[in-house]
Amino acid sequence: MTPAPRSANPLLEVSDLRVYFSARKAGLFAKAATVHAVDGVSFAVKPGSTYGLVGESGSGKSTTALAIMRLVPVRSGSIALDGTDVTALEGEALRRVRRRFQIVFQDPYSSLDPRRRAEAIVREPLDLMAIGSPSERRERVAELFAAVGLRPEQRGLFPHQFSGGQRQRIGIARALSTQPDLIICDEPVSALDVSIQAQILNLLLRLQREFGLTYLFISHDLGVVQYVCDEIAVMYLGTIVEKGDRTTLFTRPLHPYTVALLSAVPSVAGASRGGRIKLEGDPPSPLDPPPGCRFHTRCAFAEARCRHEVPALRAIEDGHFVACHRVSDDGVPPHLALARLTP
């Protein structure tokens, strides 16, 4: 497996993506409710890079990943992989393009079939997509086991005979089997011990360098995101509130939600200089998102405009975008503006 040639164009382009679900009725005569899981999300991922989606549980980041994989229905918007709109594909056309994007799931305990041997699990995508001859598939599986740091004799074992980190290596090998352009990593280390997390993250980075992989990395852990991601989008209640490159986002956060998230991570350089910012209350329900800025119910800087007018995701500087009325056009966030006014 050799690295694919890089293109100047984005490998993945997500435009105004919306994913809604119908919720169960509260009663026989109750009105059907709609869950606004993802509501107008747009971003682009460059070839050979790692793009992070970060936010609290329920922010819509994992649903975004599943929508890109076409594992949940898309209400509207487009998902383009190297210029091909995968939301418009069905049947055989979708099956053919699936080999170009794969996913590593969060839980290595439940994402592997306990009744199948490790070799069969890794080979399964090759069998389903009829890639190569039987002998070529066996050779491919052997190569993948070596690439992810598993021994040849482990190919005949069942998932319960592996540790959590080894199971995740099997999941990574399975994702690599079709030589995809894009791998979606949905919280790939959150179910692992801290000591094992670093091993898996370093493995992902090594594989990216060797094979020219592109990652969409989903996580709630900002320390992990800072370590592996080149660009980051911060999600809140189904929307993107801020996005930018890693250095800018971690050194110059603008949105009050991003600032609060970073303040809770002492390991992030400079994040704790202003002290921990505690958000009041829980995120509103996606069944009934608040009008205006969705963060205004928990924001210490909200004003009347925030409660009824939806803020646009606007560019503050090249590559740095924020959706907040209180951030000035020259990039002064509300917490710094308030500090300047305080004698």
pLDDT, residue 340, reads: 56
Question: Which domains, from first to last, does the chain contain?
Answer: 12-24+32-100+180-341 (3.40.50.300)
Sequence-distant (6+) residues with CB within 8 A of 95 are: 129
Q: What pLDDT, in 10s, does the model give residues 148-174? A: 999 999 999 999 999 999 999 999 999
Sequence-distant (6+) residues with CB within 8 A of 333 are: 253, 254, 255, 256, 259, 324, 326, 327
Q: What mean pLDDT value characterizes the chain?
A: 90
Q: What pLDDT, in 10s, does the model give residues 111-162? A: 899 999 999 999 999 999 989 999 999 999 999 999 999 999 999 999 999 9
Over pLDDT 70: what percentage of the chain?
90
What's the CA gap between 212 and 74, in Å, rounded? Answer: 29
Q: Treating both helix axes as pointing N-terminal to C-terminal, what angle do 134-147 and 164-176 enclose, rounded to 10 degrees?
A: 130
E strands present in the chain: 12-23, 33-45, 50-54, 76-81, 84-85, 101-104, 182-186, 214-219, 231-236, 239-245, 314-317, 320-322
Q: What pLDDT, in 10s, does the model give residues 253-265? A: 999 999 999 987 7
pLDDT, residue 195, reads: 87
pLDDT, residue 33, reads: 81
Q: Treating both helix axes as pointing N-terminal to C-terminal, what angle do 256-263 and 334-341 enclose, rounded to 10 degrees?
A: 90
pLDDT, residue 247, reads: 94
pLDDT, residue 269, reads: 47
First and final C-alpha spacing in the chain:
62
Over pLDDT 90: what percentage of the chain?
73
E strands present in 70-207: 76-81, 84-85, 101-104, 182-186
**pTM, to two decimals:** 0.91
Residue burial 294-330, b: 16+ Cβ < 10 Å; e: rest: bbbbbbebbeeebeeeebebeebeeebbbbbbbbeee
Q: Has residue 283 got a pLDDT over 90?
A: no
Question: What is 260-309 written as a DSSP string?
Answer: HHHHT-TTSTTTTTT---PPPSPPPPTTSPPSS-TTGGG-TT--GGGGTS
Question: What is 15-45 written as a DSSP string?
Answer: EEEEEEEEEPPSSTTSPPEEEEEEEEEEEEE
The whole-number average pLDDT for the span 337-342 is 57
